Amino acid sequence: METTTQNPESPKFTSKDLVTDQEVRWCPGCGDYSILKQVQTVVPELGIPRENIVFISGIGCSSRFPYYMETYGMHSIHGRATAVASGLKASRPDLSVWIVTGDGDSMSIGGNHFIHLLRRNFNVNILLFNNEIYGLTKGQYSPTSEEGKVTKSTPMGSIDHPFNPFALAMGAEGSFIARSMDRDPVHLKEMLRRTNSHQGTSFLEIYQNCNVFNDGAFEIFTEKSSKKEEAIFVENGMPLIYGQDGTKGIKLDGFHPKIVDLTVEGNSANDLWIHDESDRVKAGILSRFFDRHEKGVDHLPRPFGVFYKEDRKCYEEAMNDQVVEAIAKKGAGNLDKLLQGREIWEIH
């Protein structure tokens, strides 16, 4: 089920109406600029009245985001945007709630709220700006930084094994899991639309370049020279094809993905893995395409697109249903009866 909350009577607004009077303070060249621009482009198309939109963030570079969106917004505290958004959505299902968070904010200090938000499946959107570094505190490794990462806090290299955000989201019962990147505006806009239209917690990871503290972290996926070989764009119902001129494909050998050279005679696109967003098992395998730094025979490209999508009842709906059911069963609450309780006595 994919729908958009449309209010035909609401005055239309444009991207310009989403710009606030606040000066944007990210470092010049930061990937956040592109994401802000794509969000400001897509949001007016969604048919949601501007006043019904709320952006909630935690702490970090990305979390400045709400200040730059002329909607309702809250810049909350570190790691807690997901929890604040849960309460807002639970009590105001009519609102379109967007969470803007970073890899430190959502995977480290706010990891607990992140996983619980996914399992509860509030109908909200999470935009995770993953730059694999702590930017605001000036360059320490994050829970998504690779092992061995040399930063100010890890001069001899990080000994932390990183999270695989998708495997985490799958394990946390996420109902919509997608990935895009700051440097591909067309793809990013499409993913933002899909993120919004999913009914349930939509998790969109956006690879975002921090050009000051972690420049080029995602270069191989974004640069022309390597993009074709290193990134694969998955689409529902389509075979997994990538490489220069679409010459490579991926097929499943049991549960093991195998790279297929389509230029070799006998290999056909018909034998490839056809992407199915609703297939949980395949999404699990896809989430494991995560071996960027060791190039080898089985080196797999990093997937972008919607990995997994499932329709499941949203928390706020179930919560409301219980209120409705209670009223139907017991009648609307009567305060005087409640004050009185079950047993009373009178003193004259």
Partner 1 sequence: MEQRNQVLDNVIIKFAGDSGDGMQLTGTQFTNTAALFGNDLSTFPDFPAEIRAPQGTIPGVSGYQLHFGSVNIFTPGDECDVLVAMNAAALKANMRHLKKGGTIIANSDGFDHKNLRLANYTDGANPIVDGTLDSYHLITIDVTKMTRAALAESTLGIKEIDRAKNMFVLGFLYWMYNRNMDFTFKFLTEKFSKKQDILDANLKVLQAGYNYGDTTETATTRFTVNPAQMPPGVYRNIMGNQAAAIGLVAASQKSGLELFYGTYPITPATDILHELAKYKNFGVKTFQAEDEIAAICATIGASFGGKLAVTASSGPGIALKAEAMGLALMLELPLVIINVQRGGPSTGLPTKTEQSDLFQALYGRNGEAPIPVIASMSPADCFHAVYEACRLAIEFMTPVIFLSDGFLANGSEPWRFPKADDLTPITTKFATEKNDGERYLPYKRDEKLARPWALPGTAGLEHRIGGLEKQHETGNISYDPENHEFMVKMRAAKVARIADFTPPQKLDSGNEKGKLLILGWGSTYGPIKGAVRDAREKGYDVSHAQVRYMNPLPKNLGEILYSFDQVLIPEMNTGQLLSIIRDKYMIPAIGLNKVKGMPFSSSEILVKIEELQKK
Applying CB under 8 A, which residues contact partner 1? Answer: 10-11, 20, 22, 49-54, 56, 66-67, 69-77, 80, 83-92, 94-95, 112-113, 116, 319, 322-323, 325-327, 329-333, 335-336, 338-348
Instruction: Give the separation between CA 232 and CA 240, rounded to whole angstroms.
Output: 7
In the bound complex, what is the minimum distance in angstroms from residue 263's beta carbon to partner 1? 51
**Identity (one letter) of the amino acid at 276?**
D
What is the nearest approach in angstroms of partner 1 to the Cβ of residue 163?
Answer: 18
Q: Which is nearer to partner 1, 33 or 72 (CB)?
A: 72
d(CA 186, CA 188): 5
CA distance 246 to 285: 21
d(CA 286, CA 274): 12
In this structure, the chain runs to a length of: 348
Q: How many CB atoms lie within 10 A of CB 165?
A: 23
Q: Are 316 and 93 in contact (CB under 8 A)?
A: yes
Options 38, 71, 101, 131; binder of ligand SF4; rule CB under 6 A: 131
Minimum CB distance to partner 1, residue 114 (Å): 10
* C-alpha–C-alpha distance, residues 120 and 108, integer Å: 19
Which residue, 164 or 211, is less far from ligand SF4 as judged by CB? 211
Q: Is the separation of the CB atoms in 302 and 111 below 8 Å? A: no
Query: What does DSSP say about strands 231-233 and 176-181: parallel, antiparallel, or unpaired?
Result: unpaired
Among 122, 213, 218, 273, interactor with ligand SF4 by CB under 6 A = 213
Residue 126 Cβ, how far from partner 1 at the closest point, in Å?
14
Enumerate residues 6+ apart whose C-beta is below 8 A from 73.
54, 55, 56, 57, 66, 67
Judged by CB under 6 A, the residue of 26, 114, 166, 242 near ligand SF4 is 26
- For partner 1, the closer CB: 112 or 226: 112
Residue 233, token pair as written in the block? 């764009």
In whole angstroms, the minimum distance from the beta carbon of 60 to ligand SF4 comes to 8
- The site string for ligand SF4 over 51-70 (x = CB under 6 A, - otherwise) reads ----------x---------
CA distance 152 to 155: 6
In the list partner 1, ligand SF4, none, the entry touching 210 (Cβ below 5 to 8 angstroms by class) is ligand SF4
Interface stretch with ligand SF4, choices 8-16, 211-219, 261-269, 323-331 (CB under 6 A): 211-219
Tell me the backbone φ, ψ of residue 291, rounded to 5 degrees.
-105, 50
Distance (Å, whole) CA 339 – CA 56: 38
30 binds ligand SF4 (CB under 6 A): yes
Give the nearer residue to partner 1 in terms of CB position, either 74 or 274: 74
Q: How far is the CB of 219 from partner 1 (least distance, A)?
A: 33
- Binder of residue 61, out of partner 1, ligand SF4, none (CB less than 5 to 8 A by kind): ligand SF4
Binding mask 222-261 for ligand SF4 (x = CB under 6 A): ----------------------------------------
Minimum Å distance from CB 6 to partner 1? 16
Give least dist CB 74 to partner 1, A: 6
Torsion of CA 138, 140, 141, 142, to 10 degrees: -70
Q: Is the dihedral of CA 232, 233, 237, 239 positive or negative?
A: negative
